[in-house]
């Protein structure tokens, strides 16, 4: 998937490149769960290679992420009941996962929106639950727009840094940058192993009561 997206972005004229980035990120607003990192990080690499312009791509990435999130929030808020009974929907937003997120909302409120930006594979479910809870639109929009001011530039810089590290001018510089990259990879693996260890321990994550989902049961005709 990452390679395909990289080829798609790099294969167009630099003038249209930011629009491709924007379009790919906007797809999440229509229920297509594309991870923003697999789009923005390659875009950052292409910026370093001068294949994409910096500021237009940064703006396109930011607006694309925010627009996609706001659109999916509105879809979930207005069509949540219908979506919940679709098989394709349950494949990437499982009811059990929704109850876990609902539990966090009940205790942490809007901060769950902030935390979800930094937890892999939790963005779509969190937005879905926020919409079905009918969170006030301005609260969701405020949390999303502020968080994306941090995450989008961070992801673009990550891509730029990776591409730049592969083009180090000296052996020492290359070694230093590779060590930095290794440290990042080790940190990611460590977090993954903690999550895997917790999963194997058999401890269940706390969930909200299933009665919350029953409120969205389809009425029999």
User: Residue ranges of the domains in the chain?
Assistant: 2-214
pLDDT at 71: 95
In tens, the pLDDT along 92-107 reads 788 888 999 999 999 9
pLDDT at 87: 83
3-state secondary structure the chain: CHHHHHHHHHCCCCCCHHHHHHHHHHHHHHCCCCCCHHHHHHHHHHHHCCCCCHHHHHHHHHHHHHHHHHHHHHHHHHHHHHHHCCHHHHHHCCHHHHHHHHHHHHHHCCHHHHHHCCCCCCHHHHHHHHHHCCCCHHHHHHHHHHHHHHHHHHHHHHHHHHHHHCCCCCHHHHHHHHHHHHHHHHHHHHHHHHHHHHHHCCCCCCCCCCHHHHCCCCCCC
pLDDT at 147: 94
pLDDT at 112: 93
In tens, the pLDDT along 100-146 reads 999 999 999 999 999 888 877 788 899 999 999 999 999 999 999 99
pTM for this predicted structure? 0.82
Answer whether residue 83 shows pLDDT above 80.
yes
Answer whether residue 204 shows pLDDT above 80.
no
1 or 141, which is more confident?
141
pLDDT at 19: 92
Q: What is the mean pLDDT of residues 12-20?
A: 81
């Amino acid at each position: 998937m990452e390679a395909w997206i990289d080829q798609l972005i790099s294969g167009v004229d630099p003038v249209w490149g930011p629009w491709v980035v924007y379009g790919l990120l906007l797809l999440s607003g229509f229920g297509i769960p594309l991870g923003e990192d697999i789009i923005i990080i390659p875009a950052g690499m292409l910026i370093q290679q001068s294949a994409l312009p910096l500021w237009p791509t940064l703006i396109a990435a930011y607006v694309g992420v925010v627009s996609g999130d706001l659109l999916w929030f509105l879809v979930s808020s207005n069509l949540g009941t219908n979506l919940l009974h679709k098989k394709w929907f349950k494949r990437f937003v499982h009811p059990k996962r929704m109850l876990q997120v609902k539990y966090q909302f009940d205790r942490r409120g809007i901060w769950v929106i902030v935390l979800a930006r930094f937890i892999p594979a939790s963005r779509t479910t969190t937005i879905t639950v926020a919409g079905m809870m009918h969170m006030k639109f301005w609260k969701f929009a405020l949390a999303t727009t502020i968080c994306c001011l941090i995450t989008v530039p961070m992801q673009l810089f990550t891509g730029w840094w990776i591409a730049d590290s592969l083009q180090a001018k000296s052996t020492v510089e290359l070694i230093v940058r590779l060590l930095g990259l290794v440290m990042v990879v080790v940190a990611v693996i460590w977090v993954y192993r903690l999550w895997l260890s917790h999963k194997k321990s058999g401890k269940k994550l706390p969930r909200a009561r299933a009665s919350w989902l029953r409120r969205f049961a389809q009425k029999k005709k």
